Amino acid sequence: MGESGDNMFIGQYNHTIDSKGRIIIPSKLRNDLGNNFIITRGLDGCLFIYSSSEWMNIISKYKELPDTKEKRNFMRIFLSLATVCEYDKQGRINIPSPLISYANLKKDCVIVGVYDRLEIWSREDWDIFITNNSSNLSDTLDSLL
């Protein structure tokens, strides 16, 4: 997979972030993500991680949208905290402090595969998300299918 753009990320991985903002990305996910990737502010209080190829797909789609105030504002926010990352020798990434603050990352974190991206959540926020959304899962699935 890697840089091919056809990655499918799935699963949930529990990890910790250290005092220097470093978190280990599991080796299976590292292989699929590639060596260079982008981490940015996500939606719902988490962080998004995209492979380089998927990031370019997203930017291409946004370039095609009409130039509206909403598009400009979204792109300013979405891109202002985007950072190109790579792994250290231990397979860790270093998350910039503004992103750590945004996602409320303390010690315990959850890395979630969500098809075309990874998400990093604080354990507390992930548990709240699951609690608040689990009961709607079957209704949502029914409406999608």
* pLDDT tens-digit readout, 88-125: 999 999 999 999 999 999 999 999 999 999 999 999 99
Mean pLDDT by 10 residues, the chain (145 residues): 62 96 94 92 94 93 90 87 93 95 96 96 95 78 73
Residue-range definition of the domain harbouring residue 137: 2-144
Distant-in-sequence, close-in-space partners of 59: CB < 8 Å, separation ≥ 6: none
Number of folded domains that form the chain: 1
Here the CATH number for the domain that contains residue 98 is 3.40.1550.20
- Tell me the pTM: 0.87
Sign for the CA dihedral angle at 92, 54, 99, 129 comes to negative
pLDDT attached to residue 6: 63
Query: From the CB of residue 9, how many other CB atoms can be counted at a distance below 10 Å?
Result: 22
pLDDT attached to residue 9: 93
**Alpha helices in the chain, H assignment, sequence order:** 27-33, 52-64, 69-80, 97-102, 123-133, 137-144
What is the Cα–Cα distance from 77 to 6, expressed in whole angstroms?
A: 26
